[in-house]
Amino acid sequence: MAMTARFRTAAAVVAAIVALGAIGTAESPQRAFTSEWQGRTVVIRQRLYSLVFNERGTMGHTYAGRREGLVVVTPQDGVYFEFPGRQHRDDVSLRDLGGMIEAVDREYVADALDLRGYRKVEPLSLVQYDPGGELVVVRAEVLKDLVRLTFSQPGGPGGDDPVSSLTVRWPLPLSKAFTERQQVEQLIGRYVERR
């Protein structure tokens, strides 16, 4: 009888380990989202905007003609435009796209205390991607309180070089189970749809 109880206990332990192993290998909701979007071609439904800029790195090398997507969508506050901060500078966020170049230009004026007296970011122009055009999702990210899709142009001269992005910023940290996914994809769907 004692042998049967030990056998049942051992069988229960083995079953629990197998079940935990299956849970551990299951794809997380965030990874599932990423794998479903990354590499997909999308059709633009609503205009996307990017800032074209030159960036000088910390070692002095200049990266010319970089592009950063500016559109940020929120479930409650609508849409705004944001250039993410670089090299210890703040993000530049505006409701009106018209002042973006000037605002980024002001943010990246060289400091008097800066050892290198050159501009780290030089904004050049704004570019728009119109409805009906196609882009490829080269990166899909689910971060603490935002989801970002980064796009390249299919067959473009830069290959997978990013040309724009779309960010969905959530008012609270996203849940581990990513229960917000349907709402996030509805916000994404206003701007792009998978082909």
Query: Average pLDDT by consecutive 10-residue portion of the chain (195 residues)?
Result: 52 51 68 96 98 84 92 95 89 95 90 64 96 97 97 80 96 96 97 94
pLDDT at 145: 97
| Alpha helix (H) residue ranges in the chain | 2-25, 29-37, 100-107, 181-189
pLDDT at 5: 53
pLDDT at 22: 43
Contact 158, 152 (CB under 8 A): yes
Among 195, 95, 188, 91, CA closest to 149: 188
CA distances, 72 to each of 13, 19, 188 (Å): 49, 40, 10
pLDDT at 195: 87
pLDDT at 41: 97
> pTM of the entire structure?
0.81
Please tell me the distance from the alpha carbon of residue 101 to that of residue 49, in angstroms, as a whole number. 12
Q: What is the β-pairing status of strands 192-194 and 146-152?
A: unpaired
Domain ranges of the chain: 28-194
pLDDT at 108: 86
